[in-house]
Structure 1
Amino acid sequence: MWKGIFPAVTTKFTEDGGLDHDEMKRCFDLQIDAGCDGIIVCGSLGEGSMLSQEERLEVMKTAQASAGDRPVLMTVAEAATREACALAEKAAKADASGLMIVPSPIYHTNPEETKATLRAVAEASDLPIMIYSNPVAYRVDVTPDVMEDLADDARFVAIKESSDNIRRTTDIINRLGDRYDVFTGVDNLAFEALSVGAVGWVAGLVVAFPKETVAIYRLMKAGRVDDALQIYRWFRPLLDLDVSTYLVQNIKLAEALEIKSNDRVRMPRMPLSGARRAEVEKIIMDAIASRPVLQDLDSLVA
């Protein structure tokens, strides 16, 4: 159902802490103009847990204005299943294309609780669902066993695989074939995952470097693996910034330096400062100074 590059977009704030819809629209337009295939709002990178449900719906509406006929998915990552179902129902009424669901970021559900929560949210929304498995960050592993048990519900269409175990992509495909659209959710494992059958990439650094991200995906799908690898090797120091406690601050700083946005975050996060900021800024600026020349993306398989 879904494939390609789906940016996990950042949420932009005004100086007084409100939502900056004009800046979000500008940034979202850059993603679509570069050839991204969908948008995911209000995830970890989008600071969804720092937003009210009403604010998340506002962000989704802005993304829909940029996306046109491309899908916009709302992230559902609530501590309690009741609140997750409420947000899912609201997103459905606001014409979300689908949901990306984290079982619970606070209470670490066991497999039976995980399945029950996912089924409850699916029932509340009746929307297509991308299951988000990230045992590293959220300590809930949606394993192939769990995915097989959920396969009887056609609303579960995709998996964002973020276990940090590159073998998992092959395990899913060997076990379940093409039942789920497998997306990689770890920026610095994207080439590897696409090499073994992932059909999409929920990307982070794409928000600052959309053309390079799209180029890697399209080159891989066109069978031009060596060309994709050359860009990926250049990209790796940047992609490593996604695998960090400070991924939001890192990536928003990349947006500030590359696309002239800003790095405002919502507390308790604060923008990078001191030696940490200098280190990340150097990685970004070194990459900008050495960026590869890209092929005409329109000539590649989308």
Structure 2
Amino acid sequence: MTVEWQGVFPAATTQFTTSGDLDLEATTAHLEMLIRAGVHGLVMLGTVGENCSLEAEEKRGVVKAAVETAAGRVPVIAGVAETTTAGACKYAADMEALGADGLMVLPAMVYKSDARETLAHYRAVARASALPVMCYNNPVVYGVDITPEMFAELADEPTVVAIKESSDDPRRLTDIVNACGERYVLFGGVDDLVMESVMLGAVGTVAGLVNAFPEETLKLWELARAGRYADALELYRWFTPVLHLDCHPKLVQYIKLAQAMCGHGTEDCRPPRLPLVGEERERITGLIQEALNTRPALPA
């Protein structure tokens, strides 16, 4: 199976009201803004999309709304983050029925599986639908590492086509290519490693701060992919303090605060995530405001 996935795929936020209710209207308005800005795909209900804070039917409602909003203009990839393999398989089949274009599959939540269990989970979910699968490898957050050797073993699953590599180690991209050749479509998954990921062979990025700064994210990607490294580096150095927000346990709160300050949504999350307060709020708000105050003119 082949896919044409490449470019900037936002890990889109899910919008809530101040009382914590799912706000589909605001969520789809945000998706429309991202599509009009020029993103190349949408990843719904990943970490930034607060997958594990939604009820089962809410998740299905979000993906259905995203598919309808995209209307074929960009692919919609649904995050799969369930606590059991059986639940993930059912969810994968439901995403196919709702019209999603692919799945971004996480390891089973809560339990930290070993290599044999992890591969069994991915094989089962991959076989539960006909959709192409992007494996989301984020051992820093989820405690389960899919190594290059494991990806080589998984290469016989025809629908497993892509990898979002978020191990925080850009060397992994080269190790995957050395172990698997060109078998997988490679995506970077860490905002403040985007330039390094491009130079090491990633053809796409699943990005978080694009929710707040879509034009800058897209321009940085365009410059890096075109090999205009001097222009890209200047923009990257301005952007990097903000991009670091993608690599913190409170990345959802941080990204949503940036999104709100840029006029692209609200910062409302569902508990246990709470609004930032005190010194932390002042510090993160100041960092984002400094980026806004020094926002550069984008090169042609």
| Structure 1 length-normalised TM | 0.95
Task: Indicate if the aligned counterparts of 1:32 and 1:66 stay in contact, CA closer than 8 A.
Answer: no
- 1:123-162 equivalent positions in 2, closer than 5 A: 123-162=127-166
Task: Tell me the SS of whatever aligns to 2:163.
Answer: strand
Q: Does 1:225 align with 2:243?
A: no
- Aligned-pair distance for 1:152? 1.1
Task: Tell me the SS of whatever aligns to 1:263.
Answer: coil
Indicate the larger mover: 42-51 or 217-226: 217-226
- 2:16 corresponds in structure 1 to 13
- Aligned-pair distance for 1:260? 4.7
Identity over aligned pairs, percent:
46
- For 1:100, which of 104, 118, 123 is the aligned residue? 104
- For 2:41, which of 34, 38, 41 is the aligned residue? 38
Paired residues, number: 296
Residues in 2 aligned to 1:178 and 1:211: alpha-carbon distance in whole angstroms: 30
- For 1:176, which of 175, 180, 196 is the aligned residue? 180
Residues in 1 aligned to 2:210 and 2:123: alpha-carbon distance in whole angstroms: 31
Residues in 2 aligned to 1:100 and 1:238: alpha-carbon distance in whole angstroms: 25
- For 1:198, which of 199, 202, 205 is the aligned residue? 202
Task: Indicate if the aligned counterparts of 2:212 and 2:264 stay in contact, CA closer than 8 A.
Answer: no
- 1:256 corresponds in structure 2 to 260
Q: Name stretches of at least 5 consecutive residues in structure 1 with no aligned partner.
A: 297-302
Structure 1 residues 260 and 133, CA gap change in structure 2 (3 angstroms): closer
- 1:74 corresponds in structure 2 to 78
- 1:57 corresponds in structure 2 to 60
Task: Tell me the SS of whatever aligns to 2:127.
Answer: helix
- For 2:238, which of 234, 241, 246 is the aligned residue? 234
Residues in 2 aligned to 1:243 and 1:12: alpha-carbon distance in whole angstroms: 21
> Structure 2: which amino acid aligns with 1:41?
M
Task: Indicate if the aligned counterparts of 1:129 and 1:156 stay in contact, CA closer than 8 A.
Answer: yes
Residues in 1 aligned to 2:139 and 2:17: alpha-carbon distance in whole angstroms: 33
- Aligned-pair distance for 1:16? 2.6
Q: Does 1:111 align with 2:115?
A: yes
- Aligned-pair distance for 1:277? 0.5
Residues in 1 aligned to 2:50 and 2:248: alpha-carbon distance in whole angstroms: 14
Task: Tell me the SS of whatever aligns to 1:46.
Answer: coil
- Deviation per CA, 1:265-302, whole angstroms, max 9, x where unpaired? 00111011111011000000000111111134xxxxxx
Q: Name stretches of at least 5 consecutive residues in structure 2 with no aligned partner.
A: none
Task: Tell me the C-alpha RMSD between the 2 structures.
Answer: 1.1
- Aligned-pair distance for 1:33? 1.2
Task: Indicate if the aligned counterparts of 1:102 and 1:131 stay in contact, CA closer than 8 A.
Answer: yes
- Deviation per CA, 1:95-128, whole angstroms, max 9, x where unpaired? 1101001112211111111111111111112210
- Deviation per CA, 1:68-101, whole angstroms, max 9, x where unpaired? 3211111111111111111111111101101001
Q: Does 1:289 align with 2:293?
A: yes
Task: Indicate if the aligned counterparts of 2:162 and 2:187 stay in contact, CA closer than 8 A.
Answer: yes
- Deviation per CA, 1:143-183, whole angstroms, max 9, x where unpaired? 11111111111200100001111110111122222211111
